[in-house]
Amino acid sequence: MSTTVPARPSSLARGGHLRLTPGRRVALVLGVPVVLAIIAFTGFGYVGDIGHASYPVSFTVPAARDTGLTLNLNGGNATLRSDAAAVPGRASVTGTVDYALGRPTLHHHAGDVSLACPWIDLGNCDLSATVDLPAADTPLRVSSGGGDVTATGLDGTSSLTTDGGNLTLAAVAGTLTVSSGGGDVTADHLGGTPSLTTNGGNINATSIDAGRVTVTSGGGDVTLSFSQAPSNVHVTADGGNVTIIVPPGGHYDVTTIPDGGNVNALPSTSGATNVIWVKSGGGDINISQSA
């Protein structure tokens, strides 16, 4: 009796292993790094979740009226307010430091508060804090990598910056510069000489009694409502609608530069001391007086 041995498939090498064809070599070269990268990324995310921790902070730091205070949150949220009951010349800071893996170091000395994150940072290293200033006119410089910033009762030279969070202002005056990389800017009872900028969000300010206002929007809508007649309003919007409402009465030298949108504006009085200048990259421009 004869026995027939099944033929070995052409895809198999001797010993029953798959033959390493040119196509399979290419698949290995391209696929293995991708698989390893996915495993590494997933592992880091898992380790980051497991290693997440936080610790509370509470301290005072010198904040004189001539030097002020610089605060670097590295991504956290900030609540800023003036406190008449605070110790003169010292700001009170309370909050929480969040991190993953390596524990960051919080530095605070005269006029400066900053967070030093370890070189292994999974994006979870930040300080969220409430800052009570000893006087409303204390100079203030605040930077966040993406958190929200809220300010109340400031009346000095303030620079508030966040890479993507929202900025909320109430009863803020003085020389004010605020900038968001993409969040909204919302203000109520805004005085002094404010400069408001967002690269993508909306800007909405009500009860403005500032004389000079500068606004720049990367694409969102701009709405400004004045309780006192402004002396100079300068608005640049790359794409959103611009709405400006001024008190009744008064004359304005109005300039509008639309690029596709509609314009509905007050009559312009050449040579008027109050100036409104608006440029829109595509949205509508509306300038009116309140009833």
Tens digits of residue pLDDT in 50-92 = 568 999 999 999 998 888 999 999 999 999 999 877 888 999 9
pLDDT digits (tens, 9 = 90+) for 4-50: 555 555 555 555 555 656 665 655 566 555 544 444 444 444 444 55
Q: In the predicted model, what is the mean pLDDT of residues 236-263? A: 94
pLDDT digits (tens, 9 = 90+) for 102-154: 889 999 999 999 999 887 656 689 999 999 999 889 999 999 988 999 999 99
What residue ranges do the domains of the chain occupy?
21-50, 166-289
pLDDT at 15: 54
User: What is the rounded CA–CA span in Å between residue 114 and residue 259?
Assistant: 43
199 and 182 Cβ atoms separated by less than 8 Å: yes
**pTM for this prediction:** 0.81
Lowest mean pLDDT among 132-136, 196-200, 204-208: 132-136
